[in-house]
Structure 1
Amino acid sequence: MGQRIGKQHHRKKTIRIFGKSLKSRLAISYLFIILLTMVITDMALASILQSYFRSNVRESLDNQLSIAVGTYERYYADDTLEENIANDEDAFWRQSTALVQIISLNREVLLDSTGNLPATPLLDEDITIALEGRSGSSIFISPQSGERLMAVSRPLISNDEIVGVLRFITSLKGVEQTMRIIILNFVLFGLGILVISGVISNLLGRRVIRPIEELTKTAEIMATGNYNVVNQKFHEDEVGKLSDTLNHMASEIKKKEQLKNDFISSVSHELRTPLTAIKGWAVTIKDPATDREMLEQGLGIISEEADRLKDMVDELLDFSKFVSGKIGLELQTVDIRELFDFIQTHFDDRAKRESKDFQVKTSENMGTVYADMNRLKQVFINLLDNAFKFTEAGGTISISMERDRKMVDFIVEDNGSGISEEDIHKVKEKFFKGKTSRSTNGIGLSICDEIALLHGGELIIASQVGLGTRVTFRIPQGELR
C-alpha cells in the first residue's frame, strides 16, 4: 500500500513538473517570437535612421558645394587653381564650416584647410566620381583621429573643362552619437516590452495550462477507480473537447461496470438454480427409500440441468473468445434449406409444448451462403430462443430469408411483448439485461452481433412494445475476400 501511494505521489510530482515545464515553454515561445520581432524591427529602424541622417549630412554638404562651385565658376574661373590658392582666394568656399580640400587632376591635394597636405595622391571614390564630372560621396575613417568622416566632392570647371576637384569633409560623430542614443532607447523600450510580455505570457500560459492540470487531476482520480468525478470544462476548444471526452468515458465506464455487476449477479443466479436442482435431486436419489419412478425422474432433471449448465458455460466461453478477439470462423458453402430444416427440427417440439405457432418459411431453391454453419446455428438458436421467451402462448414466431444481389437477410419475427425505445439501442451491448423477469445474462445478442460483424454483415433490431420484434441477421452471400 505504501509503495502504491509513493508511486502515485511520484506520478503527481512528475505531472506537476511537466505542467510547469509546459507553461515555461509556452512563455519562452511567446517571448522568443516577440524578441525576434523586436530585434528585426529595431535593426531595420536603426538602418533606416542611419541612412536618413547620413543622407541629410550629404545633402547639406552637397548644397554647400554647389554654392561654392558656382561662385568659383562665376568669379574665379579665369585664374588657375594654383593662382587662386596662391592669392588666398577662399571667398568661394569660405561660407562652409566643413574641412575643405582642393585637388588637382592628378589627385594631389593643392590645399587643405587644416594645413596638413597628404604626401600621396588620394584615391577615394568620391574624387574619382568628381573627376568624371559628377558629384560623388564616400565615408572613411580618419587616420589621425579615428573618427568616421563623410566626404562630398564636385568638379571645378573652367572654360568647359575640369580643372580640379573641390572636396568638403565633415565628421559623422554627431550622427553616431544620435544613433547610439536612439539604439539605447530602443533597447530600453524592448526590455520594457519583454517584461510586460513575460507577465502576459505567464498569464496566458496559466490560462492554457489550468484546464490541462484539471484534466490531469481528474484522470488521476479516475485511475483510483472513482468514476463519479466530473471534469470542469473551461473553454470551447480542443482541451474542452478532451474534457467532454473524458467525462463521457467515465460515464460509459460507470455504465459498463454496472452492467458487468448486473451480469455477474444474473449469471450467479442462473448458475445457482440448476446447481440447486442437481444438488437436491442427488440427495433424493441417494436416499435408499427413493422408488424407481422418482429415480428416473430425478436422473432426467439432473441431465436436463447439466445440459443447461453446459449451454451457459459454452455461451460464456464464446463470449470470452469474442471479447479477446480469439474467435475465428470456419467458412464453407452452407445450404440454406438444410439449415432451415435443422432449425425446424430443433424448435418444433418446444412450439408444441408452449402452444405457440412456429413458422419456418422455406422455398424449393433457397440457394447457399458462404458462412460458418455452426455459428449460424448458434445465432438462430439464440434469436429464436429469445423470441419464444418473450412471446405468450398462442403467439407466432417465424424465420424467413430474403436475398438480393449481394446480401442475404435471415429474419426472425414474433408478435410478443417487444422492446422499449429506451432499451432497443442497448440490447446488443455487452452485459445488458432487460428489466423483465424473462431476461437472462445479457450476452446472447452481443454474441450474435459479433458473429454478424465477423461475417462482414450486421444485426438489425426493430421492435414495438406490445406488437413484437423483428431481428434481421444480414451477411454477404458470396465468398468473403
Structure 2
Amino acid sequence: MFTKNKNSEPVSLLRYWTVRYLITLICGLVIVGIVSGYWIKYAATEKQLEVTRLFAEEVADRVVDDDGHLLVGATLHQVLDNRRKFMGVDRNLLLFIRNEQGDLIYSRPDQLPPLLQQGLDRMLSSADRSEKVKQPNGDILYVVKKDLEYNDKIIGKVILLFPEADIKVSKEQLQYLVIMLVSLGILGWAVIYFHSRRLSEPIQNVVMAARQIVEGNYDVPVNKAIKEREIHELVYTFKEMADRLRQLESMRTELLAGVTHELKTPVTSISGLVQAINDEVVTGEEEKEFLEICLKETRRLQKMVEDLLDFNSFAVGAIAVAQEEQNLNKLIREIASQWKIVQDPDGVSLYTNIPEKQVTVFVDPGRVQQILINLLNNARQAIGEGGKIELELYETTADMRIDVKDNGQGIPKEEQALIFERFFRGSNKKDKVRGLGLGLSFSRMIAKALGGELLLKESTSAGSTFTLILPKSAA
C-alpha cells in the first residue's frame, strides 16, 4: 500500500520560492557582508598607513636642521607627541631614528618592554626588508620608513611601527554596513514575495478552475488581464481546453440521446413488425412486405453497430493497414463505378477527373475505398436530387490528392471546425439522415493511418470540397 511521506508533500508556489529566495538572499548578503568587512578593514589599514607616512615626513622635517645635523634633543619628545596627537596617530606607535651608520640614536617610547628590547635588533633588521614584522609574542607590526636626506644624501632613517591590532574599524561604518544589509534583505524578500504572489495567483486560479471541471462545471471565467506571456498562454489555453471539454460534454450528451434514438428506432420497428406477423395480423403479400422491412431495418441496425465497433477498434489501434503498390488512377475509377452501381444515385451526376498519367503509390485499397465511399455518400446526402458530384485526382510536389466536391448547400461556418469530431452530426443532416456521426471521424483516422490526411478544403453556400491526401511512398 502506498503511503504518503510528509517530507514529499508539495508546498505552495509562494512558500516554495520565497523560502528558497530568502535562503539565497541571506547567503548572498553574508558573502557581501564578509567582502565588505574585508574592504572596510583594508580601507582602515590604508588610512592608518597614510597618516603614519605623513607623520614620518613630519618627523623627518623636524630632526634634520639646515646644516644637515640630526636634532634628537630632549625637546623632541614633546614636539613629536604634540604632532602625533594633532594628527591622530595611534598612541602605541613605536618610533626609531637611525643615523647614517645605522646606529639607533632615538626611540620613542624610550623604555621598551623587556621582551621587545631583547629582539629589537632583529626586528629593526626585518623592518628594513619588509612592510611587516613579527614581534616575539607573535603580534604583527606594520612598518613605515622614511629616509632622512640632506643635499640628496641619505644621512639617516625614520622607522615607525604600529600593531595590527590597533587598526580599528569605526563603529559608524559597521552600523552603516549592517543597516544596508538588513535593508537589502527586507527589500529583496518583499520583492520576491510580491512577485511570487503575483505569479502564483493566476496558477492558483487555474487549479481552482480545474477542480470545478472535475466536478463537472466547465464555465471557467478568465477575466483578469495577465501581462506575462507564458502565464497568459497557460491560463487562456486552459480556458480553451475547458470550452472544448464543455463542447465535447454537450456532444456526448447529445450523442447518447442520438445513439439511443437511432438504435431504438429500428429495434422498435422490427419488434412491432415481428409481433404483427407472430399474431397473424398480416398475411400473404403484406406479411412478406413486413419481413422485407424487418430485414432492411436489421441491416441498418447491423451497419450502425459495425460502425461503432470499427471506430472503437481503429481508435485503439486494433485494425492494421496493409499497404501495397497500387495504380491510383485505376483504383479511383473502380471505386466511382462501384458506387454508381450499388447506390443507384438517380438524379445525381458523378464526374471523374483523372489525369492520363498513371500514378502508382503504396496504399491500402480497401481503406481508400472506405474513405471515398463515405465522402461520396455524404456528398449525395448534401445535394439531394439533381445534384452534381466531382471526383478529381491530382498530384503535388509532396503527395497525391483526391478531391470530392459537391454543389450542395454547404456546411454552416460555425460547424466546420466540428465536423471531424466523433458523433457530431450537423444541423443539415440531423433531422434528415439517420446515423451515428462517425463517418468523417473514422475516415480521418484511416487517412492518418495511411500516412495522409483528410480535410475540409472549402465549404460555401455553393457546395463543399473534401480533400484526401495520400503520400507518394509507404507510410
TM-score range, shorter chain: 0.7 to 0.9
Q: Which moved more, 1:416-425 or 1:231-240?
A: 231-240
1:233/1:324 Cα in 2 relative to 1: closer, same or farther (>3 Å)?
A: farther
SS at match of 1:401: strand
Question: What is residue 441 of structure 1 aligned with on the other side?
Answer: 436
Render the CA deviation track for 1:183-233: whole Å, top value 9, x for unaligned: 243224422443444444433332233233222222222222221132454
Query: Among residues 217, 231, 234, which one is paired with 1:239 in the alignment?
Result: 231
Question: What is residue 383 of structure 2 aligned with on the other side?
Answer: 391
Q: CA shift at 1:435, angstroms?
A: 0.8
Render the CA deviation track for 1:411-439: whole Å, top value 9, x for unaligned: 22222222222222321223322112235
Letter in 2 for 1:345: Q
In 2, Cα distance between the equivalents of 1:360 and 1:298?
39
Judge conservation of contact 2:132–2:140 (CA < 8 Å) in 1. Answer: no
Judge conservation of contact 2:131–2:142 (CA < 8 Å) in 1. Answer: yes
Render the CA deviation track for 1:95-137: whole Å, top value 9, x for unaligned: 32264323478977454232336234134577425xxxxxx85
Question: What is residue 194 of structure 2 aligned with on the other side?
Answer: 203
Query: Among residues 35, 43, 50, which one is paired with 1:49 in the alignment?
Result: 43
Q: CA shift at 1:394, angstroms?
A: 1.7
In 2, Cα distance between the equivalents of 1:42 and 1:262?
73
In 1, Cα distance between the equivalents of 2:95 and 2:355?
122
User: Are 2:341 and 1:348 aligned?
Assistant: yes
Judge conservation of contact 2:327–2:361 (CA < 8 Å) in 1. Answer: yes
1:200/1:473 Cα in 2 relative to 1: closer, same or farther (>3 Å)?
A: closer
Letter in 2 for 1:122: R
SS at match of 1:334: strand
Q: CA shift at 1:379, angstroms?
A: 0.6
Question: What is residue 73 of structure 2 aligned with on the other side?
Answer: 89
Judge conservation of contact 2:388–2:406 (CA < 8 Å) in 1. Answer: yes
In 1, Cα distance between the equivalents of 2:42 and 2:77?
32
Query: Among residues 221, 230, 251, which one is paired with 1:230 in the alignment?
Result: 221
Letter in 1 for 2:384: E
1:171/1:477 Cα in 2 relative to 1: closer, same or farther (>3 Å)?
A: closer
Judge conservation of contact 1:387–1:397 (CA < 8 Å) in 2. Answer: yes
SS at match of 1:76: coil
Query: Among residues 280, 288, 309, which one is paired with 1:317 in the alignment?
Result: 309
Q: Which moved more, 1:380-389 or 1:465-474?
A: 465-474
Question: What is residue 22 of structure 2 aligned with on the other side?
Answer: 28
Judge conservation of contact 1:356–1:392 (CA < 8 Å) in 2. Answer: yes
Question: What is residue 65 of structure 1 aligned with on the other side?
Answer: 59
Query: Among residues 185, 195, 205, which one is paired with 1:214 in the alignment?
Result: 205
Letter in 2 for 1:271: L
In 1, Cα distance between the equivalents of 2:358 and 2:397?
14
- Structure 1's unaligned 5+ residue stretches are 1-6, 78-83, 130-135
Question: What is residue 260 of structure 2 aligned with on the other side?
Answer: 268
Question: What is residue 18 of structure 1 aligned with on the other side?
Answer: 12
Judge conservation of contact 1:233–1:243 (CA < 8 Å) in 2. Answer: no
Alignment coverage as a number of residue pairs: 450
1:295/1:358 Cα in 2 relative to 1: closer, same or farther (>3 Å)?
A: farther
User: Are 2:384 and 1:400 aligned?
Assistant: no
Letter in 2 for 1:119: Q
Judge conservation of contact 2:14–2:197 (CA < 8 Å) in 1. Answer: no
1:379/1:160 Cα in 2 relative to 1: closer, same or farther (>3 Å)?
A: closer
Question: What is residue 128 of structure 1 aligned with on the other side?
Answer: 128
Q: Which moved more, 1:114-123 or 1:355-364?
A: 355-364
1:158/1:356 Cα in 2 relative to 1: closer, same or farther (>3 Å)?
A: closer
In 2, Cα distance between the equivalents of 1:235 and 1:26?
25
Question: What is residue 299 of structure 1 aligned with on the other side?
Answer: 291
1:193/1:57 Cα in 2 relative to 1: closer, same or farther (>3 Å)?
A: same
Render the CA deviation track for 1:219-261: whole Å, top value 9, x for unaligned: 2222222211324545221223211121111111101111222
Question: What is residue 474 of structure 2 aligned with on the other side?
Answer: 479
Judge conservation of contact 2:33–2:177 (CA < 8 Å) in 1. Answer: no
SS at match of 1:273: helix
Judge conservation of contact 2:361–2:472 (CA < 8 Å) in 1. Answer: yes
SS at match of 1:441: coil
Question: What is residue 132 of structure 1 aligned with on the other side?
Answer: none
Question: What is residue 178 of structure 2 aligned with on the other side?
Answer: 187
Judge conservation of contact 1:460–1:471 (CA < 8 Å) in 2. Answer: yes
State TM-score, norm by structure 1: 0.80
1:423/1:198 Cα in 2 relative to 1: closer, same or farther (>3 Å)?
A: closer
In 1, Cα distance between the equivalents of 2:461 and 2:225?
46
In 1, Cα distance between the equivalents of 2:49 and 2:110?
28
SS at match of 1:329: coil
State TM-score, norm by structure 2: 0.81
Question: What is residue 3 of structure 1 aligned with on the other side?
Answer: none
Letter in 1 for 2:242: A
Judge conservation of contact 1:335–1:367 (CA < 8 Å) in 2. Answer: yes
Q: CA shift at 1:22, angstroms?
A: 2.0
- For the aligned residue pairs, the C-alpha RMSD in angstroms reads 3.6
In 2, Cα distance between the equivalents of 1:159 and 1:369?
109
SS at match of 1:96: helix
Judge conservation of contact 1:27–1:202 (CA < 8 Å) in 2. Answer: no
